[in-house]
Structure 1
Amino acid sequence: MLNIEEIADYLNSITLVDKNVEAYLYDETPKDVAPKPNKNVVVVKPSSVDEISKVVRYANKNRIPIVVRGGGTGLSGGAVPIKPSIVISMEKLNRILEIDTQNLTVTCEAGVTLRALIEAVERVGLSFPPHPGDESATIGGMISTNAGGVRAVKYGVMRNYVLGLEVVLPNGEVLKLGGKVIKNVTGYNLMHLIIGSEGTLCIVTKAIIRILPKPKKNYTLVIPFDGVSDAIESVSRILNVITPLAIEYIEVEAIKYGERVVGKRWVSKDGEAHLMLVIEAKDEDELIEIAEKIEKACKNPLNIFVASSVKEQRDLLEIRSMFYEGLKDEIIDIMDVSIPIAKIPEYLKRCNEVAKNLGLQIITYGHAGDGNVHQHPLKCENGEEKYAKFKKEAFKIAKELGGFITGEHGVGFVKRENLAEFLSQNELELMKGIKKLFDPNGIMNPDKVVN
């Protein structure tokens, strides 16, 4: 048992200690699958990399686990302390240090929120494409999970925008990787090893992020379909014609949950499933031309609705972004399977058959353009038992079709037991070896990703 008072007294000489630990014990992982937090923790709020380094040196010397916390928006229990720990909140490392309009980069601390970064770069006429949904997510957290989101189909994921990192290693040393360059093959790419490592190797404290010129005007299209298969099969057809900014698959049943949160109405309730596309066009003439190509590419679309005004688009995107918020109290879990795009129809068809046989209702939406599907099992009698059977079969189907258990949420705590189903023994041993090399005392986010 850690002597929390003794640790807190010592750390108080280094950095700010917050005695209100309750707010730092949970993330957004559904309660039914979330790990039980260990409340025997010390929460610190460093305001510099030097303070973090001193805290980490102390923790490493005394073999005290460290859990780093960003915005607490994770969905895999990655920021939940499982053992008595020092929780390092990054909220005070929230400065945007430089926007370099010549090199198209922004340098910021890890606690900067997505919202703050977007607003800062847009003020100078530039843009930052990655958008995982919750704008209170921090840049450090997005790097640690290699966050994706709705725009990944065109603009990629977080990894595609990280040019440089400053990190604190588990021994307290500060390491600087990369820089303001697009190309760099100077030795092994340690920076990209750290991206997506979920706080298990080191602590990201600063990043150099690639930004882009502001795109053309955006327009939002909603296309209803009578059947799930027609909607999903249309995705590959559309991608052969155009690469939209986003292409989302939405089951009509999911829409009411987003509407309930924001108090607004979706454009149509026709059909069983919808595709929502965000496209770029310089004007309405180009928009009409693109919309006609999309409609022609689709398989049996019922209609095509174009939201051209800023308000119409904002309302639709707001409803879409609140699906999970509306659902979270009624679901057992949110799944994050990643499937080859052409295999999504088969995956959903087989999964729906499994769910029907189990008497389990699944509500599905997701980033169809990049193959990332979010399935939500609703709570019901014997729901956890039914879901365990469903998840086992769904993961089996995903593996058969060349998919993986997580596309953007990360392994964290809730999926770590499933790693061996998708990775070879050699891969797992290499991952454990990398973990041991970075973190020989096992203090960094223990019991997450790999043991």
Structure 2
Amino acid sequence: MSWIDVLSKIVEVFPPSDAYRFDETPPLVAPRPAENFVVVKPSNSEEVSAILKFANEKSIPVFTRGGGTGLSGGAVPTEEGIVLSTEKMTELEVDADNRVAICGAGVTLKQLDDAAFRHGLSFPPHPGAETATVGGMIATNAGGVRALKYGTMRNYVLSLEAVLADGRIINAGGKTIKNSSGYSLLHLLVGSEGTLAVITKATIRLFPQTRDMTLLAIPFPTMEDAMNCVVEVARKMLPMALEFMEKRAVEIGERVSGERWVSREGEAHLLMVFESFDEAEEAAKIAQSLGAIDVYAATTKKDQDRLLKVRGMIYEGLRKEVIEVLDACVPPAKIAEYWRRSNELAEEYGIELITYGHAGDGNVHQHPLVYEGWEKSYFEFRKSLLSLAVSLGGVISGEHGIGAVKLSELEELFPEQFELMRQIKLLFDPKNILNPGKVVRKL
């Protein structure tokens, strides 16, 4: 009797399909999926426990999958084994008095948003696509455009239920914001990308509902002018979002969205979103004092949606042309230097590089476009680019994670940390069954 036959006595087993073979990682850098694997869809932690206990005894790899919206190959089954989908773990309860939501790992961002809204609350960071799942967002410590004011996923996880590789179920944290009760296993699991445990349930912090927004669109003559404005605005207030786009990115967003940005002049463009009109007014004055070409205020939802669509559609306009989506993070005051030096580096390699991102928190999204013979020189370029980010006080991934695509750079640029991560992995998962080959090399 095969291990699949034995597994089918524990849980219903589904055959492999493309729906579980890939995530959103661009195909040119995505890890190659295994041909043979099975899919299981447990409904709760007890079923997950039984699956992992069996897999651990038989040394069968397990790849946990949420919404499949990741960009680093983290959910791709790269070996023959088990894809554990969290899609049936959709329990969702809002405790309005304590301002928390208790969510199964398979609850989507939209479901969480809608449930919070029905109880007069909100989940303000919006750190992913609406089909992204709570478990997946926690596993990658997802960020998003509102991280400057509202933080990343880590700031909202108050407790976790998770299943260890040997099937043990653990609970870390509670419904409290404060917790100084020993080592924080909770925060060790946040961002662990399915390599240390399978997250099955989480208690998520909720906030009061956000206020009416005011949006500013501001073109600047140079990237340095724009980033000087970013630094000065963030010194005095915290916008809900503080985005930047180079001119080429704006043009792509316009083309795909069918909408017109406020101006085609200037090297760099900022998009700021405020919950306070007074703050928006003060930010406008700061921008004007620092050389803004224009300051456009959008106060109606229709006008705001039009401008947000331009920013939001940039990647769609490049999806078929990109090698990958890079997401290095540098100190905000270093963005202009990083942008210029990365363009110089790209020019040396003959690469066209489109840049935009989250100016307020320094998370820079860059799209190197496909060129002839890219396989021969691209990865050397990427290493140099990520090394540049680190040299400026940054990190190689701000929100997409390491997964399978940035493992080499993590090992080379942070060797001491990498070795500690390997040791932690060995402690949690000595047989290396949980998402093997992701984040750290196979032991």
Q: TM-score range by the shorter chain?
A: over 0.9
Contact preservation (8 Å) 2:216, 2:280: no
Deviation at 1:43, TM superposition (A): 0.7
Percent pairwise identity: 51
Q: Does 1:106 align with 2:77?
A: no
Task: Output the TM-score relative to the length of structure 2.
Answer: 0.95
Q: Deviations over 1:146-186 (max 9, x none)?
A: 11010001111000000000001111111111110111111
Contact preservation (8 Å) 2:288, 2:295: no
Partner of 1:35 in structure 2? 31
| Cα separation, 2, equivalents of 1:219 and 1:111 | 33
Deviation at 1:288, TM superposition (A): 6.0
| Cα separation, 2, equivalents of 1:88 and 1:109 | 14
| Cα separation, 2, equivalents of 1:76 and 1:261 | 24
Structure 2 unaligned spans of 5+: none
| Cα separation, 1, equivalents of 2:98 and 2:428 | 32
Give the 3-state SS of the residue equivalent to 2:244 in structure 1: strand
Q: Does 1:197 align with 2:189?
A: no
Contact preservation (8 Å) 2:241, 2:360: yes
| Cα separation, 2, equivalents of 1:307 and 1:123 | 27
| Cα separation, 2, equivalents of 1:358 and 1:404 | 22
Deviation at 1:145, TM superposition (A): 0.5
| Cα separation, 1, equivalents of 2:291 and 2:115 | 43
Partner of 1:121 in structure 2? 116
Partner of 1:220 in structure 2? 215
| Cα separation, 2, equivalents of 1:91 and 1:333 | 27
Partner of 1:413 in structure 2? 404
Partner of 1:396 in structure 2? 387
Q: Does 1:234 align with 2:226?
A: no
Give the 3-state SS of the residue equivalent to 2:98 in structure 1: coil
Give the 3-state SS of the residue equivalent to 2:213 in structure 1: strand
Give the 3-state SS of the residue equivalent to 2:360 in structure 1: helix
| Cα separation, 2, equivalents of 1:312 and 1:323 | 18
Contact preservation (8 Å) 1:222, 1:277: yes
Deviation at 1:65, TM superposition (A): 0.3
Instruction: Choose from 46, 51, 63 the match for 2:59.
Output: 63
Q: Does 1:90 align with 2:80?
A: no
| Cα separation, 1, equivalents of 2:76 and 2:251 | 30
Instruction: Choose from 44, 49, 58 the match for 1:48.
Output: 44
Contact preservation (8 Å) 2:109, 2:128: no
Q: Which amino acid aligns with 2:287?
A: E
Instruction: Choose from 384, 405, 423 the match for 2:414.
Output: 423
Q: Does 1:244 align with 2:234?
A: no
Q: Deviations over 1:184-237 (max 9, x none)?
A: 111111010100000000000000000001122112111011222222232112
Contact preservation (8 Å) 1:404, 1:422: no
| Cα separation, 1, equivalents of 2:161 and 2:59 | 23
The alignment's C-alpha RMSD in Å is 1.7
Contact preservation (8 Å) 2:218, 2:295: yes
Q: Which amino acid aligns with 1:295?
A: A
Deviation at 1:340, TM superposition (A): 1.1
Partner of 2:439 in structure 1? 449
Distance 1:215 1:85, change over 3 A: same
Instruction: Choose from 257, 267, 285 the match for 1:293.
Output: 285
Partner of 2:352 in structure 1? 361
Q: Does 1:341 align with 2:332?
A: yes
Deviation at 1:389, TM superposition (A): 3.4
Q: Which amino acid aligns with 1:63?
A: S
Deviation at 1:336, TM superposition (A): 1.0
Q: Which amino acid aligns with 1:34?
A: A
Give the 3-state SS of the residue equivalent to 1:243 in structure 2: coil
| Cα separation, 1, equivalents of 2:229 and 2:380 | 30
Deviation at 1:403, TM superposition (A): 1.2
Deviation at 1:294, TM superposition (A): 3.6
Partner of 2:253 in structure 1? 258
Q: Does 1:322 align with 2:300?
A: no
Give the 3-state SS of the residue equivalent to 1:235 in structure 2: helix
Give the 3-state SS of the residue equivalent to 2:389 in structure 1: helix
| Cα separation, 2, equivalents of 1:176 and 1:47 | 17
Deviation at 1:20, TM superposition (A): 4.5
Q: Which amino acid aligns with 1:37?
A: P
Give the 3-state SS of the residue equivalent to 1:325 in structure 2: helix
Contact preservation (8 Å) 2:116, 2:123: yes
| Cα separation, 1, equivalents of 2:399 and 2:355 | 16
Q: Does 1:437 align with 2:427?
A: yes
Q: Deviations over 1:96-151 (max 9, x none)?
A: 1x211111101010001111111111122211122234111100000001110100
Partner of 1:373 in structure 2? 364
Contact preservation (8 Å) 1:57, 1:172: yes
Deviation at 1:325, TM superposition (A): 2.5
Partner of 2:180 in structure 1? 185
Distance 1:416 1:95, change over 3 A: same
| Cα separation, 1, equivalents of 2:89 and 2:204 | 16
Structure 1 unaligned spans of 5+: none
Distance 1:316 1:184, change over 3 A: same
Instruction: Choose from 46, 61, 73 the match for 1:77.
Output: 73
Give the 3-state SS of the residue equivalent to 1:106 in structure 2: strand
Q: Which amino acid aligns with 1:163?
A: L
Contact preservation (8 Å) 1:241, 1:294: no
Partner of 2:159 in structure 1? 164
* Higher deviation after alignment, 233-242 or 38-47: 233-242
| Cα separation, 2, equivalents of 1:209 and 1:17 | 31
Q: Which amino acid aligns with 2:85?
A: S
